[in-house]
Structure 1
């Protein structure tokens, strides 16, 4: 089994902020047994990435607010038979993008919205957005359910013998 921690939109401006240290402690607990971490952009500070690397090897992409020069817009990894794409903001023509990147039947991790999402597509791509542990936004209302509230969030993705599962974790950490 491969276990991956997913995170996005941390927007860390001051790595010396005591709240960031609390967040990292909690992420260390949540991601303690992951094989890899994926950060889907809007990191803002390289020191935060280095701290994530202490927890597990980290794959990351740039977001529109990042100024770290070494970051790429898109990355892809393969776990078991699954292509996993990582991008910050979903492209306009998502189906065409997934076809070009060979993500049909794969997984696309993204951020930008600050809202957690687990959603399948008609063309068999699993979309995962871990939301934001620091600046969460209220998820979209779903008819028949109570009004959602904004909660800090990260996600765990598990792949075990071809079976994919993912779930949202709401850290106790409060927004900065």
Structure 2
């Protein structure tokens, strides 16, 4: 199983995303989507689960402040701002928290939770990398990585 992870597109879906996400089983978007057209374009690649970011407001249809989905035995919680996960985790546990907002890639484990920020796939901000993430189940074990976009 392969899961594409993206955040902070801010209305810009780079063509390279189609190549990186080709063949994924599901896509997770951690907010600051920039419009329903981004979700529609991602939806042409695979099913999408998304949460809204602080810049989205009404522009992203059904995307709420958080989202949850179970894939391949992992319980994913999506929030845009990492600090918002605390209250959500008190309501129900998750194995992986996917977040965005900072535009900085993160892949770390804290206690029993895997924290993953794919970085920003939208317009470049400062000198931060433009990238997305992939979760892949290889030989029964989950791995995550960041993929740079040019």
Deviations 1:95-119 (A, max 9, x none): x64343212xx11111111001001
How is 1:1-176 mapped onto 2 (pairs within 5 angstroms)? 2-12=1-11, 20=12, 23=14, 25-67=15-57, 68=59, 69-91=61-83, 94=86, 97-103=88-94, 106-122=95-111, 124-137=112-125, 150-160=128-138, 162-172=140-150
Return 5+ residue gaps in structure 1 as ranges: 13-19, 139-148
Matched residue of 1:55: which SS? coil
Runs of 4+ in 1 over 6 A off after TM superposition: none
Q: Kindly report the root-mean-square deviation, in angstroms, between the aligned alpha carbons of the 2 structures.
A: 2.0
Structure 1 residues 133 and 58: CA distance shift in structure 2, 3 A: same
CA distance in 2, matches of 1:132, 1:84: 19
Q: 1:3 touches 1:159 (CA, 8 Å); kept in 2?
A: yes
Query: Normalization by structure 1: what TM-score?
Result: 0.76
CA distance in 1, matches of 2:49, 2:5: 10
Q: 2:30 touches 2:50 (CA, 8 Å); kept in 1?
A: yes
CA distance in 2, matches of 1:37, 1:63: 16
Matched residue of 1:91: which SS? helix
Query: Normalization by structure 2: what TM-score?
Result: 0.88
Matched residue of 2:43: which SS? helix
Q: 2:129 touches 2:148 (CA, 8 Å); kept in 1?
A: yes
Q: CA deviation at 1:134?
A: 2.1
Q: How many residues align?
A: 148
Query: Bigger radius of gyration, 1 or 2?
Result: 1
CA distance in 2, matches of 1:36, 1:113: 23
